[in-house]
Structure 1
Amino acid sequence: MIIQGTETLSSFIHIVSESLLTPVMILIVVGLIVVILCIGGLINERISRKTISSEELESLVRDVSFSQSHSEIEKLIEESNLFDFQKNVLVKIANNYDIGSEARKALASELISAEETKLIKSTNKTDVLVRVGPILGLLGTLIPLGPGLAALGSGDIVTLAEALTVAFDTTVTGLVIGALAYLVSKFKKQWYESDLIVLETIAEAELETLNRK
């Protein structure tokens, strides 16, 4: 009775395992397409990026620090080479010149935090692929090995060869997906971290200037 129950469970798991091969292969193909599109987006973003130089940053911080009014700060920000999201945050801070210094500081912190969250979300897709890609590759490796080993036992070399081909192909593709996704996430996070540092630096100078008014 116990043996029959074990055989039933084993047969059920075997059926489930084999039925997962096609969905896994479909997900691998989808993951590969997604990561290729992400690479295209990364290249496009790299070409279009015009980051502010250290000299420009120093000059802007000094100009903001010696500004005489919030409107002058706003004009300096708008005319700078900052990204639009950086300008939006800094202009909002300048426009709230009439509230208390602590409230303005809290607002600045919240605005910067909100932008940081948006930037982090933009890398969620590739962050997921970094982990999921190799997992799908591993599943694509293990699932066909069952039938392949069974075929080996019966002397069916052709079926074994086909199973091993699928196993190796899915493993390689899954690892490629993970590696490419990792590179995309790494570059984007480096860029965004630098952008946030620039934003925080100018925001600090802006807050100090507004606090003196």
Structure 2
Amino acid sequence: MLSFFGDTFIADAMNIISQSLSIPVLIILLIIVVLSLFLLGEVIAEYFKNKNHKVRDTRDMMWAINNAPSIDEVKSIIKNSNIPSNQKVILSEIANSSTMKKSSREALARRLVEVEEERVDKTLNKTDVITRVGPTLGLMGTLIPMGPGLAALGAGDINTLASSLTIAFNTTIVGIGSGALCYVLGKIRKQWCDKALADLDALSDAVLDYME
């Protein structure tokens, strides 16, 4: 008898905990949908902003830096280039370090590039988190309403069952859809970021070589 009451208490406690998560899960899924659409807009904006930048542009810029008559001309080349603004800031800081010793300039350049890599990682983490969390919350949103739904089925309450199933299907679609969208966005963005970091490495080396 004591064991029966203990089992009942545990089952009731688990039911209360699971049902109390219903609203938070739905709210977080709604936030994830908004964030996914926001990230989609960011990726589209990045595409139109950087679509005209080609590998030959980086090559031509490196030639221009190597053939520049002065460090001021190097700074002008950087300022007037069509590379992303954050890369302009990094290259300009490297160019401004011309009065430093060689080892200090190289250490500064490495650190600036590392900071940019950290920024890129934070950007990519946004889509990675949603890719993993979205489907998980979608599954939670599917299973949580099934308890009351099955209880309603046993009591012959078809309306409650239909409502629970609707919530379950909607959360599944939202969770998996958001995760799939962010997975694709993350893959696309990673390709762009890898290319941008490779260009930044090459350009920073060109600026450092010029100041030797």
Unaligned runs of at least 5 residues, structure 2? none
Q: Does the Cα contact within 8 Å between 1:141 and 1:166 map onto a contact in 2?
A: yes
Q: Which residue of 2 aligns with 1:59?
A: 60
Q: Which residue of 1 aligns with 2:134?
A: 133
Distance, in Å, in 1 between the alignment partners of 2:4 and 2:181 is 47
Q: CA deviation at 1:183?
A: 2.1
Kept after mapping to 2: 8 A contact 1:141/1:167: yes
With 47-56 and 140-149 compared, the bigger mean Cα shift is at 47-56
Determine what percentage of the aligned residue pairs are the same residue.
38
| Correspondence for 1:91 | 92
- Matched with 1:113 is 114
User: TM-score scaled by structure 1?
Assistant: 0.90
Contact 1:130/1:181 (<8 A) preserved: yes
TM-score by length of 2: 0.90
Partner of 1:38: 39
Alignment root-mean-square deviation, CA: 1.8
What is the identity, as a one-letter code, of the residue corresponding to 2:132?
R
The amino acid that maps onto 1:112 is V
Counterpart AA for 1:153: G
SS at match of 1:123: helix
For 1:137, the aligned partner's letter is G
The equivalent of 2:10 in structure 1 is: 9
Q: Measure how far apart 1:118 and its partner are.
A: 1.7
1:101 corresponds to: 102
Match of 1:199 in 2: 200
* Structure 1 residue runs without a partner (length 5+): none
Q: CA deviation at 1:51?
A: 4.7
**CA distance in structure 2 between the aligned counterparts of 1:204 and 1:144, rounded to whole angstroms:** 58
Work out the CA distance in 2 between the residues paired with 1:50 and 1:26: 36
Question: Contact conserved, 1:50 with 1:81, CA < 8 A, in 2?
Answer: no
Name the CA distance, whole Å, in 2 between partners of 1:53 and 1:22: 48
C-alpha deviation, 1:50, in angstroms: 5.1
Structure 1: how far apart are the matches of 2:119 and 2:174?
A: 30
